[in-house]
Amino acid sequence: MLTDFAKITTFLTVVREKSFSKASAKLGISQPAVTQQIKFIEDYLEVQVVDRKKNGIKLTKEGQMLYAIALKLEKCVSNAEKEVLKIMNKDVSFIFGASFIIGNYILPRFLNNLKDDLHNDVSINVSVSHEAIEDLLDKKIDIALVENYVANEDIIYKEWMEDEIVIFSNQRLPKKATAEDLLSYKWVCRNPDSNTRQIFKENLEKANFPDCDTFDVTSEVTSATTIVQTVLHSDKKLTPTVSVVSKNAIESLLKSGALFESRINNQKMIRKLYIAYRKEKKNDVFINNVVDYLLKVK
């Protein structure tokens, strides 16, 4: 069993997350798969190691002993990976595929440090999430960073960070927007297939607000950059022109006072961002090193 470190990793993740479901999301595998791997460990050892409780999990005495051993194994594997990385070919460029928001506004924040820490050249292909996943499956990129979870048995997803979507304008808006406020604005909308627009519609429904299809829409745009520039340069003397976008895309403009944000009844519109890579690469030292790095800097 100890030679199959995937099961040990699953056990460590269950303990750290204190939940089978949270471990499932963290590892990018189904909850039944997590349960099956823990059962394999218990059948192999012929003892119960995890006791499920209503408010989480608790380790048995044997589980605590296994946890101490697993931590030692994890440290040994981590040290071995570092040694392997020293002898790997460092002339090959590591290629990320990323959605527009991640590729243009999030990844550049730590790209230089990433290149230095990996001792490798790094390049980014910016597109939309589904195209990044297609490139991943076609082996055109090494890792995809996306905001959409597109189920595929050949891909492992790991939750990376949260991204907040906000209502914004170049005019001051109320912190807590009412339904009447939203109906009074002029809107620059994302295209109907946009993940951002879908998140917005879901949050409107959650707040019992009118659907965005009833808003005063002046245009529909596919590019976040075009939306930001359109709102930024709208006439401040007229009715506020507004839209929704990732806060990451306008953070500097919010800080400078060029743009202002608002929320639906002050509720946050949050979506998950994911790290995705091919399942065939789950034991690839370099891929795992990059994933670990991203999870630490989020």
> What's the pLDDT at 238?
93
Instruction: Please report, for residues 26, 163, 264, the alpha-carbon distance to residue 182 in angstroms, rounded to integers and kept in the order given.
Output: 36, 22, 9
Bridge partner residues of 265 (DSSP): none
> What's the pLDDT at 209?
94
> What's the pLDDT at 148?
84
- Counting Cα atoms < 13 Å in the Cβ hemisphere of 289 gives 21
Contact 267, 166 (CB under 8 A): no
> What's the pLDDT at 114?
74
pTM of this structure? 0.68
> What is d(CA 236, CA 216) in angstroms, rounded to the nearest whole number?
17
Bridge partner residues of 49 (DSSP): none
> What is d(CA 56, CA 58) in angstroms, rounded to the nearest whole number?
7
Rg (the chain; Cα; Å): 23
> What's the pLDDT at 88?
54
pLDDT by residue (tens digit) across 187-212? 999 888 888 999 999 999 999 999 88
> What's the pLDDT at 250?
96
Low-confidence stretches of the chain (pLDDT beneath 70):
1-4, 81-92, 118-120, 298
Q: Enter the tokens of residue 115.
A: 């290149």
- For the chain, list the domains and their CATH numbers: 5-87 (1.10.10.10), 164-269 (3.40.190.10)
